A = this chain, B = another copy of it.
């Protein structure tokens, strides 16, 4: 047993007579007085497995009960170098179990797991060279434009012509796991989409009871896999099969059954999910207005990931034809507001292999630029927090409150406070989104300001007086870094080239 690596107990026994999913098998792992219960699953081929994910080092004792009775102990060794454990939400950001910062740089390949082997290999190869460390992908296959291929395997077998959630297709899950393990080795988190609406097979029409059985098997198999995030749905509100309470029930069921607290959220079509729910670890957003990050952070006090901000591509759907520049822009906006963004690509090709859903090769110009952003993030000593000053202070909630209750004393002399309260209700949010500066910091270690579409040729940056900073001018599209000063302090006047997509990066050198 090794810290941060899935530990597995295997038992041989006859195939279950009834449900493969709902079986009576569990284990309790105890270390230093702390006990964790984990449930076993039927893994096919007369084999039962119980998985456990050890977070601590030291001696674990375990007892198995139910279909099998057994007990034992394992010494858990310290994690291998470079193995950091699961990712968890922490404050407005994410980190691995060992405290290493994790900056999600996601992409989307919804039906990656439902493609033929050759295409999956191509996708894996592409991912090995791409900047992405999180993939949004589905358990169930996808039926949609450019997504008409029939998968080799499905999550369940059929009984009497109907999907039988009690008979998981063992090969499907084995292949799925093997691919997740490969992604894990590449440092990629799997943001697993449990339900989605784009279906011709009937997976989007499971009864509530069947859905919970499916969840049960999923949790028994996958909970102890380190690189899993639970995404209740892609576009939960487009899945006609479930109501709001159903989604709440699914979330709570997962929270109860997942002893490790994997990241958990729910992705919207129209209205955002209720991220204030206790079991929701972060805000998973579909929207184009990535500059809403600070509003959402302040509302929910959880990390904000714009997991779908439209796709770089050229298809006829409006959500699938933003330019590479626009995708890069949305990334920079999100990160310099202290949030995160997820990539996707929808360039049409005659073979109908579009990255966003089926994988293959990346054709766009944004990944390279996203890698450039990542290279900046990798130099930081911690996650970026929004600079909550000047125009950056204002959120819609605050303005609406001032409109109702008056301007607080400390804002009374502020030109913008006095103006913003004059705006009609419907203009407050669009106005705030337009004036909000993209400016983030890591304590007084680093400052990163993105100028978005502003083409200023001059600007100022206010740095602390008591430290020295290296200032670089970044061209986020050309991916250049130009040193402006090796040792600056206080208010610094900067010259910029007067074009879109520039950024200023100041990093302490003392």
In the complex, are the beta carbons of A316 and B456 less than 8 A apart?
yes
In the complex, which residue of chain B has the Cβ closest to the Cβ of A329? B453
A423: contacting residue among B271, B314, B454, CB under 8 A: B271
* A323 partner residues in chain B, CB cutoff 8 A: 453, 455, 499-500
A289: contacting residue among B321, B348, B434, CB under 8 A: B434
A458 within 8 A of B: yes
In the complex, are the beta carbons of B459 and A316 less than 8 A apart?
yes
Cα-based distance from A428 to B289 in the complex (angstroms):
12
A82 within 8 A of B: no
**Chain A positions near chain B (C-beta within 8 angstroms):** 237, 269-272, 287-289, 292, 313-318, 321-323, 325-326, 348, 396, 419-420, 422-431, 433-435, 453-460, 498-500
In the complex, which residue of chain B has the Cβ closest to the Cβ of A426? B429
Q: Output the residue of A317, A326, A430, A458 with the most chain B CB within 10 A.
A: A430
A419: contacting residue among B237, B318, B396, B426, CB under 8 A: B237
Cα-based distance from A460 to B323 in the complex (angstroms):
20
Q: How far is the CB of A440 from chain B (nearest CB, A)?
A: 18
A430: contacting residue among B321, B433, B499, CB under 8 A: B433
A456: contacting residue among B314, B420, B430, B431, CB under 8 A: B314
Q: How far is the CB of A260 from chain B (nearest CB, A)?
A: 32
Q: Output the residue of A287, A316, A420, A434 with the most chain B CB within 10 A.
A: A316
Can you list 20 A-B pairs, Cβ within 8 angstroms, ordered by A?
A237-B419, A270-B419, A270-B420, A271-B419, A271-B422, A271-B424, A287-B427, A289-B430, A289-B434, A314-B498, A315-B456, A315-B457, A318-B435, A318-B454, A323-B453, A323-B500, A326-B453, A427-B429, A429-B429, A430-B430
* A289 partner residues in chain B, CB cutoff 8 A: 430, 434
A321: contacting residue among B317, B322, B433, B456, CB under 8 A: B456
In the complex, which residue of chain B has the Cβ closest to the Cβ of A497? B314
In the complex, which residue of chain B has the Cβ closest to the Cβ of A453? B326
* A459 partner residues in chain B, CB cutoff 8 A: 316
In the complex, are the beta carbons of A455 and B313 less than 8 A apart?
yes
* A434 partner residues in chain B, CB cutoff 8 A: 288-289
In the complex, which residue of chain B has the Cβ closest to the Cβ of A312? B455
Q: How far is the CB of A383 from chain B (nearest CB, A)?
A: 26
Cα-based distance from A314 to B457 in the complex (angstroms):
5
* A288 partner residues in chain B, CB cutoff 8 A: 434
Cα-based distance from A499 to B498 in the complex (angstroms):
23
* A453 partner residues in chain B, CB cutoff 8 A: 322-323, 326
* A269 partner residues in chain B, CB cutoff 8 A: 419
Q: How far is the CB of A417 from chain B (nearest CB, A)?
A: 11
In the complex, are the beta carbons of B315 and A423 less than 8 A apart?
no
* A420 partner residues in chain B, CB cutoff 8 A: 270
Cα-based distance from A366 to B115 in the complex (angstroms):
47
Q: How far is the CB of A269 from chain B (nearest CB, A)?
A: 6
* A435 partner residues in chain B, CB cutoff 8 A: 318
* A419 partner residues in chain B, CB cutoff 8 A: 237, 269-271
In the complex, which residue of chain B has the Cβ closest to the Cβ of A419? B270
* A454 partner residues in chain B, CB cutoff 8 A: 318, 321-322
In the complex, which residue of chain B has the Cβ closest to the Cβ of A292? B430
* A292 partner residues in chain B, CB cutoff 8 A: 430
In the complex, are the beta carbons of B270 and A422 less than 8 A apart?
yes
Cα-based distance from A317 to B363 in the complex (angstroms):
37
Q: How far is the CB of A184 from chain B (nearest CB, A)?
A: 34
* A499 partner residues in chain B, CB cutoff 8 A: 323
Q: How far is the CB of A275 from chain B (nearest CB, A)?
A: 12
